[in-house]
Amino acid sequence: MNDFSIRNHWLENVRRVPSENHDERPAGSKPTLIVVHCISLPPGAFGGKDIDRLFQNRLDPKVHPDYVSISRLRVSAHALVRRTGEITQYVPFSMRAWHAGKSSFDGQPRCNDFSIGIELEGTDDSPFADVQYHRLAQIILSLIDQYPTLSRDRVAGHSDIAPGRKTDPGIQFNWERLFKLIAG
């Protein structure tokens, strides 16, 4: 099932849209957590270019009322899995993407320092596409193969690392299905 190779911290044969919203991980910090998110821009709309624009600091606040509050955010994720299965990578996995915000996992704060963030195109309350589960599992298995500090039991949702502040990937995300796909 592992169909992706990673070279120089980039998935090969996927769309690349580099984001400047990243920096170096702290000295000695390695990725030990994979965080699953979901996003749609405008909310509930799929397939447009606004996710790319958000991660590239080019989101026009005049396009949609919700964009006024987020257009100045400096955020990114390592990768995005569209509803079609298309994958876009924004930040090399060796770098710290700005996806988690105020967060902690297993008592360790600042999850951006030690995590890889993967966005799924979707909403908290709508089902995800079959192909998204398969592509997400392929990425996770490729990451585990490439980075020995990652493991199948250190995959969490944004809601797990920022409870009360974040709800994604939401109630429609089927964790059992994902864990079956990445099982040894």
In angstroms, the CA 7 to CA 125 distance is 35
CB 78 within 8 A of CB 118: yes
119 is catalytic: yes
Give me the catalytic one of 24, 119, 121, 176.
119
* C-beta neighbour count of 124 within 10 angstroms: 17
In angstroms, the CA 81 to CA 149 distance is 23
In angstroms, the CA 26 to CA 49 distance is 31
Residues recognised as catalytic: 119
